[in-house]
Each structure stands twice: as C-alpha cells, then as structure tokens.
Amino acid sequence: MKIASWNVNSIKARKDHVIKYLQDTDLDVLMVQELKGLDFPAEDFEAIGYKTAAVTQKAYNGVAIFSKTPITVILDKLPGDESDEQARYIEFETTGPYETPLRLINIYLPNGNPIGTEKFTYKLAWMERLRLRLKELKDNNIPFSIGGDFNIIPQDKDCYDPNAWKDDALKQPESIAAYRSLINLGLTEAFRIYNKSSGQYSFWDYQAGAWQKDNGIRIDHFLLSPEIADRIQNCVIDKTPRGWDRPSDHTPIIIEIAA
C-alpha cells in the first residue's frame, strides 16, 4: 500500500498538479494539507478513480484525502477543544488493496509563529491534544499511521542552517519536546528508518532562491504505531513536484506498507 502526504499550498492553485501526481505515481492514498478555501473539487478526482473526503475552512488551512478504495471518516476534528474551528485534522479508515481497514490520520499542525503569542500557545496546546488522541488509539490497540505537515524541524540536520531558524516556532525547544512526546508513545518516524543523512528536506521557501540553493527544512513526517512500523517497506521524500512550474513550497513524502 503506497500512501503519500503533501502540503499543496492551495488546492485551487495546485489541482492540476495533484491530478498529475496521482496519475504518475498510482498512489493508493494521498493526504493533502493547506487547501485554503471552502471549495473542494471532489468530482475532478473522482473522475480519475479516487474517492475523496475533505475538511475545509474559508481562506485558510484545510485537509483532504484521496483514496482508491472507500473512505470511512472517523473524526473530522481533533478532540479536546470544541471551540476550535480550524480545519487541521481528519482521521479515517480505508482498506487499500487489503481486506483489513487501515487507520490513517492526516494533520496540518499549527505553525505557531510568532513565538510569545497566542499562536504559539495554540500550537503547543494542539500538540498536547494530539498526543492524548494518539495515546487513546494506542491504549485501545488500534494500529495507525499519522502523516502531514507537522511544522516541526526535529533535529539540526533537518535544516540547512539551524541558526536561521532558532527564533522560529518550528524549532523551539517546547515544540521539539512536544514532538518527542508523540514519539515517546512508542511511535516510529518512518523517514529516519531508511535515511539518517542530513540535507533531506520537504520544504523550500519561495524567497531568496531557496529551492535552487537547496536551502530547505524537513517538516513533513509520517509517524507509525508499532504494528504499522513492523509492516513498513520504504519511506522517501519525492522532490519531483517541487521542480514543476508554479509548485507548492512543500513536496510529497511517501510510505509503503506491506500486507
């Protein structure tokens, strides 16, 4: 089963890119983030053979799923704060090529900038709510994979210049500690199973020639519960779409899971 995560930075602007990517890669599931709007062109993806589900928000955020097999949405918002109206979370099941449903979670974790504001407080509170939800799944023996734009730079080697990001919410000690608390539930970061090297990035800013200079950061991740980690066969960052015309500033990360 081949599953990808991609922050597309506007589904309206990148619809054709997503269609091309689905057709080129023959993914079983694609999870996308940052839809940026209420309109979601489900019929365009259904026309190429993908079921869809989306959680949208006017102008900002938004997450969506594309799956070759039917989708059962379990949750369309992160539990723990009924007043939170930001579209950042969707938890679902799909079977892929197998009979047993697989629980997947697609997130667009808050950026948190600038630090010292309510945006940073919201980021940390959101991450604690996420930890509690993942703990609940583990306590109930539900295998899962969670992927998306985590807006977290886990280590210095995940950033072209750590000093350039030392005052950013993506690299604050509190942010990284909250990310580690997810790992400490017994989860495995898929990419680092296969690639320990520095200079492996999933995001390049539009400014200052960052893509051309390879001045990137790695903030898009997959975390796996133990049962799924035992079935993982590969995890790669696919840089190809970042080189397309008018690309997203992120590029996809792909995992492959055995039956």
- The predicted-structure confidence for 190-244, as pLDDT tens digits, reads as follows 999 999 999 999 999 999 999 999 999 999 999 999 999 999 999 999 999 999 9
Total structural domains in the chain? 1
State phi, psi for 17 to the nearest 5 degrees. -65, -45
The contacts of residue 167 (CB under 8 Å, 6+ apart) are 115
> What's the burial of 135, exposed, middle or buried (CB within 10 Å: 0-12/13-18/19+)?
middle
Residue 164 pLDDT > 90, yes or no?
yes
DSSP letter, residue 165: G
Question: For position 62, which CATH number holds?
Answer: 3.60.10.10
pLDDT band at 99 (very low <50, low <70, confident <90, very high): confident
Q: Which helix (H) or strand (E) holds 188?
A: strand 188-189
Domain coverage including residue 215: 2-257
Do the beta carbons of residue 190 and residue 255 sit within 8 Å? yes
CA dihedral (240, 246, 250, 255) positive or negative = negative
pLDDT at 116: 96
**Structure tokens of 95?**
């079977």
Instruction: Note the pTM of the prediction, 2 decimals.
Output: 0.98
**CA angle centred on 25, ends 36 and 71, rounded to 5°:** 60
